[in-house]
A and B are shown apart, each in its own frame.
Chain A
């Protein structure tokens, strides 16, 4: 399996611009997660989906952030407008029926810098 695929790997954008991060989960997985990692705050869960439906978006920092999962093989995380404090590594992860014992697999991350 190709694993979780994220794009872009690196993005540098100017403050105020729209940023779209993309994720292709592992085929057959029914959970998809978006995490953000910074030195100051560590690893934060932003939102997760089950069968393409958002289950918990309580970690989304504010209305500038939105996430969609139009089908089982694709998800986006959008920031509009972007701000320098959004600079972070954004990870997408997927899992299958994550009850006891099931495992979540991470992508390589999208490294975002907002200047």
Chain B
């Protein structure tokens, strides 16, 4: 079945460091790919999405490119802030009506 695998956390970075959180997926067909973010004590919020190969999703300085050849959707940000500390979830939707989530990656940014 379809699945999503994320790099394990926690990831700890200093402010202004470069961020990469790896995400790979297994799916038949052409799923849509998403990154959600969960701040402490809150629900999940959509961060960005991409619907087809080579699409780049971007928001708030974060970006991810849909790479079908490597079945990946890695999240990147050039300069992280303390306020980016959260848990990040990669997910896919393969036209089955539901999102399939990775296990989440906790990011901690230190000043």
Selected from B36, B98, B103, the residue in CB contact (under 8 A) with A48 is: B98
Contact status A103-B97, CB under 8 Å: no
Bound-state CA distance A92–B36 (Å) is 15
Q: In the complex, which residues of chain B have a beta carbon less than 8 angstroms from the beta carbon of A101?
A: 32, 49, 51
Check: B61 CB closer than 8 A to any chain A CB: no
Interface residues of B in 1-59 (CB under 8 A from A): 30-32, 34, 36, 42-46, 49, 51-52
Bound: A107/B42 CA distance, A: 9
Q: Quick check: A103 and B49 within 8 Å, CB to CB?
A: yes
> Across the interface, which residues of B come within 8 angstroms of A45, CB to CB?
98-99
A109 close to B (CB within 8 Å): yes
A to B contact number (C-beta, < 8 Å): 55
Q: Write the A40-74 contact mask toward B (1 if CB under 8 angstroms, else 0).
A: 00110100101000011000000000000000000
Q: In the complex the two chains form, what is the Cα distance from A42 to B30 in whole Å? A: 25
Partner of B95, one of A31, A42, A50, A99: A99
Chain B contact residues (Cβ within 8 angstroms of A): what range? 20 to 34
Nearest A residue to B45 by beta-carbon distance? Answer: A106
Nearest residue, chain A, Cβ from B51: A101
Query: Do residues A100 and B98 form an inter-chain contact, with CB atoms below 8 A?
Result: no
Contacts of B49 in A (CB 8 A): 101, 103
Binding site for B on A (CB under 8 A): 4, 31, 33, 42-43, 45, 48, 50, 55-56, 91, 93, 98-109
